[in-house]
Amino acid sequence: MALAGFAVLLNPILDRVERQYLEATEEPMVDVAEILAALLSNQPEAELFAPEAWRSGMEAVKAKPLNAKIYNLMKEKVLMDFYITDVQGNVVYDSGDAATVGENFSIYLDVYLTLQGQYGARSSRLDQEDPTSSIMYVGAPIVTGGEIVGVLTVYKPQRSMLLFIIETKRKLIRLSVGALALVLMLGWLLSKWVTQPLRTLTEYAAAVSRGERPPAPVMPGYHLRILGETTEAMREALENRKYVETYVQSLTHEMKSPIAGIRGASELLHEDLPDEKRLQFLGNIKSESLRLQNLVDQLLALASLENRTQLGSPTSVSLGDLVRRVVNQHESNLLAKGVRFQVAGDDVTVVGEEFLLETALNNLVQNAIDFSPHGGAVKLSLTTESDRVYLSITDEGGGVPDFALGQVFDRFYSLPRPDSNRKSSGLGLCFAKEAVDLHQGQLTLQNRTDRPGAIALVVLPLK
């Protein structure tokens, strides 16, 4: 569109350049014609139509070399000529072409109009197929005794002005191309300045719709900044509303079972029961109350994590030390099941919150232990590639059922453990994913392809 607009604007300007040069050339030709005609006016007729002095003078002028540097044009000779006609329009002298002497030029406008007392001028081509062969003619009356007795016409080829016209057109084209490039650049910058904030808002909205928690968009300018802040506030309000609704429903569902167990056991304790049964029901009350307490603690921790959009006080964290510490914490849990740890890889340092990363890794390792068979192995491996670090936790259990692969990170979703057939709170993996997402990383859980088992893969950016 911009190119078309510039072309429409530039074409008439370039056409006007040639016309402007012709007009600028015609004006001094009028002066020359009038001066020369005045020199001939009021002369005796014998001198008027026998211009030997003119002939010898023009021959001398044309023979004289010139070295006139006019901008980019080196003018080496006189290119303007003139001819004289009598009152009938017959040529009596022509400084440029002696062969025209005796011809009648009364049909030409420069002679015809001048003899009528008007301004006479014309432009004629020597070659009708060549537009650059045009010659400009300007006539002036020769007056004797108050009457027009002849015409003096000066003429000049337009080709002599061609260099100036071409140079001016080239300069105009260069300036126009430069101006077009500048306009396009400014237009691109303006477009980017306007569309980039909209693109940022679009990406932000897309990330929110995918369930991510991107940082609030930073927008330039007062109004765009208010728009970004308003969008972030709207997201928080909507998420908080949905968050509370989902949590109330999920928490109510998860608390039903332990509350029912505690209520049933407490009612039975009012009856006369053997000590063995009484101790059993008291144990049930204690285990279910601990289950409730664990559920509440995990919910509070997860709620605190989900409301954050960025790390609080990130520090350098050694993943090698972190893995070894988590392995030591779980060593006692492995004795009963006969599960062993295998640790591989070099130490890698990342930037993050050590507590969150340790808690996430604890949950992933505990999950691997829960689903490992007796005598199995849990392998933790650290590798780096480009600007990423990969921490994998691999077990040798039965893997994740296909129907559950897309739900393992949902709140309160849990699969029964192979040894006890009991479910966990369903918050551990959810917490781990939230913690990894907060570190701008990725957490995936998938089945192994080489043998039965699952592999949890944590991908974190290197510092």
SS3 118: coil
Cβ atoms within 10 Å of 445's Cβ, excluding its own = 19
- pLDDT bucket at 118, cuts 50 / 70 / 90: very high
Start and end residues for every CATH 3.30.450.20 domain found in the chain: 2-167
The residue behind tokens 């006539």 is: 139
Residues 6+ apart with CB under 8 A from 341: 327, 330, 331, 334, 377, 378, 379, 380
Q: Specify the CATH number of the domain 2-167.
A: 3.30.450.20
SS3 406: coil
**Please, what sign has the CA dihedral across residues 181, 185, 191, 192?**
positive
Q: What is the pTM of this model?
A: 0.44
- pLDDT bucket at 88, cuts 50 / 70 / 90: very high
Query: Residue 376 above 90 pLDDT?
Result: no
Residue 417 exposed, middle or buried by CB count within 10 Å (0-12, 13-18, 19+): middle
Length of the chain equals 463
Per residue, the 3-state secondary structure of 33-66, as one string, reads HHHHHHHHCCCCHHHHCCCHHHHHHHHHHHHCCC
Query: Residue 257 above 60 pLDDT?
Result: no
What are the beta bridge partners of residue 459?
390, 442
The CATH-assigned architecture of domain 241-306 is: Orthogonal Bundle (1.10)
Residue type, 278: R
For the segment 233-242, the average pLDDT, to the nearest whole number, is 59
Query: Residue 155 above 60 pLDDT?
Result: yes
Residue 434 exposed, middle or buried by CB count within 10 Å (0-12, 13-18, 19+): buried
Task: Identify the pLDDT of residue 327.
Answer: 82
Q: What is the Cα–Cα distance from 8 to 4, expressed in whole angstroms?
A: 6
Of 98-112, 142-156, 332-346, 388-402, which gets the smallest average pLDDT?
332-346
SS3 136: strand
Q: Specify the CATH number of the domain 315-461.
A: 3.30.565.10
- 117: DSSP letter: T
- Strand order of the sheet with strand 340-345? 340-345, 377-385, 388-394, 454-461, 442-447
Task: Identify the pLDDT of residue 79.
Answer: 79
Q: What is the Cα–Cα distance from 351 to 73, expressed in whole angstroms?
A: 71
Query: Residue 104 above 80 pLDDT?
Result: yes
If you count DSSP H runs as helices and E runs as strands, how many of each does the chain have, helices first? 10, 14
Longest CA–CA separation in the chain, Å:
162
Start and end residues for every CATH 3.30.565.10 domain found in the chain: 315-461
Residues 294/366, Cβ–Cβ less than 8 Å: no
Residues 153/142, Cβ–Cβ less than 8 Å: no
Residues 41/147, Cβ–Cβ less than 8 Å: no
Task: Identify the pLDDT of residue 110.
Answer: 93
Q: What is the Cα–Cα distance from 455 to 418, expressed in whole angstroms?
A: 17
Give helix 275-306 / helix 428-438 axis angle, nearest 10°. Answer: 20
CA dihedral 26, 28, 29, 30 (to 10 degrees): 90
For the segment 216-239, the average pLDDT, to the nearest whole number, is 67
- pLDDT bucket at 69, cuts 50 / 70 / 90: low
Q: What would the pLDDT profile of 14-33 be if each residue is shown by its tens digit?
A: 555 556 666 667 788 888 88
Q: What is the Cα–Cα distance from 262 to 120, expressed in whole angstroms?
A: 121
Closest CA to 399 of 418, 413, 381, 383: 418
- 210: DSSP letter: T
Start and end residues for every CATH 1.10.287 domain found in the chain: 241-306
Task: Identify the pLDDT of residue 353.
Answer: 79
DSSP H or E segment with residue 193: helix 162-209
Task: Identify the pLDDT of residue 152.
Answer: 92
- pLDDT bucket at 239, cuts 50 / 70 / 90: low
What are the beta bridge partners of residue 461?
388
pLDDT, the chain, mean:
75
What are the DSSP calls for 137-169, one per residue?
EEEEEEEETTEEEEEEEEEEEGGGGHHHHHHHH
Query: Residue 176 above 80 pLDDT?
Result: no
- pLDDT bucket at 90, cuts 50 / 70 / 90: very high
For the segment 331-356, the average pLDDT, to the nearest whole number, is 78
- pLDDT bucket at 144, cuts 50 / 70 / 90: confident
Closest CA to 54 of 66, 35, 77, 36: 36
